[in-house]
Amino acid sequence: MKNKGYMGKILHVDLAANEIREEVLPDSVYKKYLGGMGLAAYVLYEKIPAGADPLGPDNILGFLPGLLTGTGSFFTGRWMVVGKSPLTGGWGDANCGGTFSPAIKRCGYDGIFFSGISEKPVYLYMDDHVRELRDASDVWGMDAVETEEYLGKKDGNKGKQPKVACIGPAGESISLISGISTDKGRMAARSGLGAVMGAKRLKALVLAGSKRIVPHDREEIKKISQTCNKWVQFQPPFVSGPMTAFVGALLRFLPTVMAMDGMLYKIMLKKWGTVAMNQMSPEMGDSPLKNWKGSIKDWGIRKSYASNPDVFIDCEKVKYHCYACPLGCGGICTTEGKYSETHKPEYETVLSLGGFCMNEDVEAIFYLNEVLNRAGMDTISAGHAIAFAMECYEHGVITREDADGLDLTWGNSEAIVELVEKMVRREGFGHVLADGVKQAVERIGKKAEPYAVLAGGQEPAMHDSRNDPGFALHYSVEPTPGRHTLGSLLYYEMFQLWKVVKGIPKAPAMYWKGSKYNDPDKLAEFGATTSKYMTIVNSVGGCLFGAFLGAKRIRFFDWMNAATGWEFTPNQYMDKAADIHTLKQAFNVKHGLEPNKIKISERALGRPAQTEGANKGRSVEIEAMMSRYWEQFGWDGETGKPSSEHVERIAAAGGK
């Protein structure tokens, strides 16, 4: 064990051969790739052969905590699942909070990587003495919550309270929009990696280790954590839930934008969780509505009021924090009907199954939140699939008969509920949608294509790229496209990196709204810096919401030095992040993707521009921005590809 915050080893599990093998990594690998996302890039780039079938034996599925997980630093308890995505055909990852991340390290590893395909369903069990693949035929078919409860007790070894990550029926049936669940319904949902786990016949990881995680300088970590905590705990009284709608409307009408300080978002997050944005975001133009063709004219305050943030905390029976989080945006809500409780739905879920489908029925959203969490299906992609089907129905591309008799009129909550249940069971028309929008177009035919809004094969998240062109950029250029957690103009403002990283531009404190669409150079520079910082956040196991408080308040760079004993500057860490990001891009190129052919659909770029609502008249000239962004990393400005010399230099520098 090392006094460096990391364990110094990873585990390789060959599911076909039933072999488990440790690999000790030299310090040089950690110094170069950190942990989490960075370590994943190092392993996957080298080990997954070009052209590997994402659902075949050559794909590798990795589970990783962060470099800082378990060291006493704050906001660093998130874990990451990685692999080649069956949805995009390129780099895939998904990120989740809860309590699973330190459990990987307590078993003694900085990552667990699965290859091959098991002959029969299995799960990996590990504690301090046992490390084996066990028969999972008794849990195959159970939903994610049942699986966790069952396996937790079965292998519990009283008092050890194992942590479980598992797939539900969606992963088992290889739904390309399935994810991996922990903590009874928290989901690492994106990139379709639940399907990779299902294809490998790996039902779960059950981890009950108790190894110590020993940082280099615990006292220093504690000191930094205490200074961070004072920012998190500052919590003045804030407006009521419905008032957030008026704040959003005000932001819509103002001709100027003021740079956002993440403290404001933190105050809202601490009070409500992400549902704080349920009314504010549609009002200000941040929420795509009605499958990206609607606007505030379709989804005004009267409709969004049903999902005002207070509705969610009124039924919150308990608030909870992820591991090592001083903020605690999570909650368990009581519900009526089949399930008595569910995790407080996230903003993304409420919008994708609400305003995105014109659905005002909040009870239905609570119910579907639990249905999808138990199935292990991505709520963003599921909402997209339903809205896409509704628009196809509106235009006569699919009929009531095609839809198994369901009336897919916008906002019909009974039909939405039934269709989601059918998707989970892959039954009838549900099968058409069960693998997301891209596959649905292939099943319905070309006539459905105009209604598909995608980014590189994945359904983009519930933040409108016409409102913040930074989302348009990151949805298009990230090695995992369509993700809202990787960057935007707003994030650049909130990260306030110029306070700790030398030589990067400060976000303007105030500017005319229109001006944010016409400077590709500046947007690309902000975007590249944001991508690097998010690579750091995802390599240390960091939470995006912690990062929103700003790099001077939530000090990931200082924590890394205190945990490892390294003495790198923030600029040196950002250079490492650029290399990791380049390796992920090189992964996509190695697997045949053409970065300049991946960009978010025209509708989400405002082509043509909307004629009403908050984003009226706006369109994003994405091509120039993408090109400038690639150049920021030293990649080819036309193709988006890093040169082979560039990639070889990075790969060689991390060698053993």
44 contributes a contact to ligand SF4 by CB under 6 A: no
CB of 618 to ligand SF4, least distance (A): 30
Stretch that binds ligand SF4, among 322-330, 561-569, 600-608, 631-639 (CB under 6 A): 322-330
Tokens, residue 168: 């539900």
Direct distance between the N- and C-terminal alpha carbons of the chain, in angstroms, rounded to an integer: 19
Stretch that binds ligand SF4, among 321-329, 397-405, 460-468, 566-574 (CB under 6 A): 321-329
Of the two residues 325 and 589, which places its CB atom closer to ligand SF4 in the complex?
A: 325
CB of 549 to ligand SF4, least distance (A): 10
CB of 76 to ligand SF4, least distance (A): 9
Task: Answer whether 83's CB lies under 8 Å from 196's CB.
Answer: yes
Distances in Å between the Cα of 171 and the Cα atoms of 62, 124, 149, 198, 392 are 16, 16, 18, 5, 26
Tokens, residue 247: 């704040």
Of the two residues 75 and 312, which places its CB atom closer to ligand SF4 in the complex?
A: 75
Of the two residues 65 and 411, which places its CB atom closer to ligand SF4 in the complex?
A: 65
Bond before 608 cis per omega within 30 degrees: yes
Beta pairing class for 163-166 and 202-207: antiparallel
Of the two residues 79 and 429, which places its CB atom closer to ligand SF4 in the complex?
A: 79
Of the two residues 331 and 613, which places its CB atom closer to ligand SF4 in the complex?
A: 331
Number of Cα atoms under 13 Å in the Cβ half of residue 560? 29
545 contributes a contact to ligand SF4 by CB under 6 A: yes
What beta strand segments (E) does 73-218 contain? 79-84, 91-96, 112-115, 122-126, 131-135, 163-166, 180-182, 186-188, 202-207
Distance, CA of 601 to CA of 616 (rounded, Å): 17
Distance, CA of 94 to CA of 188 (rounded, Å): 5
Closest to 260 (Cα-Cα) out of 482, 488, 474, 485: 488
Choosing from 37, 224, 322, 390, the residue that interacts with ligand SF4 (CB under 6 A) is 322
Size of the site for ligand SF4 (CB under 6 A): 11
User: Which residue blocks in 120-242 are alpha helix, DSSP H?
Assistant: 144-154, 169-172, 193-199, 218-233
330 contributes a contact to ligand SF4 by CB under 6 A: yes
Strand partners, 341: 334
CB of 234 to ligand SF4, least distance (A): 15
Of the two residues 97 and 108, which places its CB atom closer to ligand SF4 in the complex?
A: 97
Angle at 396 between CA 394 and CA 402, to 5 degrees: 105
Stretch that binds ligand SF4, among 207-215, 282-290, 310-318, 326-334 (CB under 6 A): 326-334
> What character string, x for contact with ligand SF4 (CB under 6 A) and - otherwise, covers 48-77?
---------------------------x--
Binding to ligand SF4 (CB under 6 A) within 442-471 occurs at: none
Choosing from 9, 134, 321, 425, the residue that interacts with ligand SF4 (CB under 6 A) is 321
Q: How many helices (H) and strands (E) does the chain have?
A: 26, 17
Stretch that binds ligand SF4, among 209-217, 318-326, 473-481, 564-572 (CB under 6 A): 318-326
Distance, CA of 124 to CA of 550 (rounded, Å): 38
Distance, CA of 386 to CA of 382 (rounded, Å): 6
CB of 545 to ligand SF4, least distance (A): 4
Of the two residues 274 and 632, which places its CB atom closer to ligand SF4 in the complex?
A: 274
Q: What DSSP state is assigned to residue 89?
A: S
Strand partners, 43: none
Distance, CA of 204 to CA of 181 (rounded, Å): 9
CB of 432 to ligand SF4, least distance (A): 33
What beta strand segments (E) does 444-546 contain? 510-512
Tokens, residue 375: 């199935």
> What character string, x for contact with ligand SF4 (CB under 6 A) and - otherwise, covers 502-541?
----------------------------------------
Q: Which residues contact 319 (CB under 8 A, 6 or more apart)?
A: 328, 330, 331
CB of 103 to ligand SF4, least distance (A): 16
Choosing from 48, 176, 327, 563, the residue that interacts with ligand SF4 (CB under 6 A) is 327
CB of 269 to ligand SF4, least distance (A): 6
CB of 94 to ligand SF4, least distance (A): 14
Of the two residues 77 and 460, which places its CB atom closer to ligand SF4 in the complex?
A: 77
Tokens, residue 492: 């650049």
554 contributes a contact to ligand SF4 by CB under 6 A: no
CB of 97 to ligand SF4, least distance (A): 4
CB of 328 to ligand SF4, least distance (A): 5
Stretch that binds ligand SF4, among 17-25, 173-181, 328-336, 591-599 (CB under 6 A): 328-336
Task: Answer whether 352's CB lies under 8 Å from 462's CB.
Answer: yes
CB of 625 to ligand SF4, least distance (A): 29
CB of 536 to ligand SF4, least distance (A): 16
What beta strand segments (E) does 401-556 contain? 510-512
102 contributes a contact to ligand SF4 by CB under 6 A: no
97 contributes a contact to ligand SF4 by CB under 6 A: yes
Task: Answer whether 534's CB lies under 8 Å from 80's CB.
Answer: no
Of the two residues 140 and 320, which places its CB atom closer to ligand SF4 in the complex?
A: 320
Distances in Å between the Cα of 316 and the Cα atoms of 268, 271, 343, 352, 654 are 16, 11, 9, 21, 47
CB of 77 to ligand SF4, least distance (A): 6
Of the two residues 74 and 492, which places its CB atom closer to ligand SF4 in the complex?
A: 74
Of the two residues 10 and 329, which places its CB atom closer to ligand SF4 in the complex?
A: 329
CB of 327 to ligand SF4, least distance (A): 4
238, burial (CB in 10 Å: exposed 0-12, middle 13-18, buried 19+): middle
CB of 278 to ligand SF4, least distance (A): 16
Stretch that binds ligand SF4, among 327-335, 349-357, 421-429, 647-655 (CB under 6 A): 327-335
405, burial (CB in 10 Å: exposed 0-12, middle 13-18, buried 19+): exposed
Of the two residues 263 and 624, which places its CB atom closer to ligand SF4 in the complex?
A: 263
543 contributes a contact to ligand SF4 by CB under 6 A: yes
Q: What SS3 state is found at 188?
A: strand
Stretch that binds ligand SF4, among 35-43, 296-304, 320-328, 485-493 (CB under 6 A): 320-328
**Chain positions contacting ligand SF4, by CB under 6 A:** 75, 97, 321-322, 325, 327-330, 543, 545
